[in-house]
Amino acid sequence: MEIFFMFVLFFVFGAVVGSFLNVCIYRIPAKISIVWPPSHCPKCNNKIKWYDNIPILSYLILGAKCRNCKEKISPQYPAVEFLTAALTTLFFCNFGLTAWTFCALFCLYILIIVSFIDLKTFTIPDILSIGLIFFGLAVCFINPAFSGDLLSKFTSSITGASVGFFGSWGLAIFCSALIKKEALGGGDIKLMGAIGALSGCLGMANALILASFFGLICFAILAILKKTPENGAIPFGPFLSVGLIINLLFPNFNLLLIGV
Ligand SMILES: [Zn+2]
């Protein structure tokens, strides 16, 4: 019973955070403050009452429509809330109530915002990607991905960040020269730096393999459904984020070390 209560508590906490992440996803690219004004309908500007702003539930109760003007509410809202709630519960179950759980959750929340902004705008705001690099360096001492004394933990983190950032930068220049168009966006390069800072060089390789794998599957599905975007481009940030989220959840799992 107690465990069930904890599950519900983690899920509700995650859903409430997810509701705030929706605000960030909508407002950060538009350069609007994330704390003011309070949530309102983008069409009729009606301020959303607290009872119409309950994560996941309000969307279902309102039948996906604004109470005032009946404008359709995007399914992105409950999707982000549910995703955040489910992953938050998973992180708490995996790590318990530790300082690292909250650090990993902070990274998770940034990555969810990054993914949805990248899907919508094909860009990743610097404040999020560069911010995550510095956050990764700052918390490397309690990061279970790194072992050894304080100096070796910091060395692993900063080496990962440098290889991730400069390595993918070099790769981007090389590939762009080869295919004569942008191969890897600037946002992806900074995100690679963040992946390195949070999971080191080996972890970064793991995240990159996972990201490419999921990216290819997604591309194949879109091709089968004949929904490939006209310019053939799909943002890579969400896939890199999935790779890093898997690294954060399973710090001891690495595809390169299977069987070693
Ligand atoms: Zn409305």
Reported as a single tens digit per residue, the pLDDT across 64-85 is: 999 999 999 999 999 999 999 9
Q: Which residues contact residue 207 at a Cβ distance below 8 angstroms, ignoring those fewer than 6 apart?
A: 195, 199, 240, 243, 244, 246, 247
Q: Are residues 85 and 192 in the same domain?
A: no
3-state secondary structure of 40: strand
Q: Which of 97, 115, 149 is the last residue in one of the domains? A: 97
- The closest alpha carbon to 211, from 188, 227, 182, belongs to 188
Residue numbers in the chain where pLDDT is lower than 50:
none
Q: Are residues 106 and 179 in the same domain?
A: yes
How many domains, in total, are found in the chain? 2
Q: What is the pLDDT of residue 249?
A: 96
Reported as a single tens digit per residue, the pLDDT across 14-26 is: 999 999 999 999 9
- Ligand 1 centre to CA of 75 (Å) is 15
- Ligand 1 centre to CA of 35 (Å) is 20
- Ligand 1 centre to CA of 37 (Å) is 16
* Calpha distance 210→28 (Å, rounded): 28
Q: Are residues 108 and 64 in the same domain?
A: no
Containing domain of residue 18, as a range? 1-97
Q: Which of 42, 69, 97 is the last residue in one of the domains? A: 97
Q: Which of 97, 117, 150 is the last residue in one of the domains? A: 97
Neighbours of ion ligand 1 (CB under 5 A): 41, 43-44, 66, 68-69, 71
- Ligand 1 centre to CA of 138 (Å) is 43
- Ligand 1 centre to CA of 118 (Å) is 26
Q: What is the pLDDT of residue 69?
A: 94
- Ligand 1 centre to CA of 146 (Å) is 49
Q: Are residues 77 and 114 in the same domain?
A: no
- The closest alpha carbon to 175, from 183, 167, 163, belongs to 183
* Calpha distance 102→106 (Å, rounded): 6
Q: Are residues 1 and 123 in the same domain?
A: no
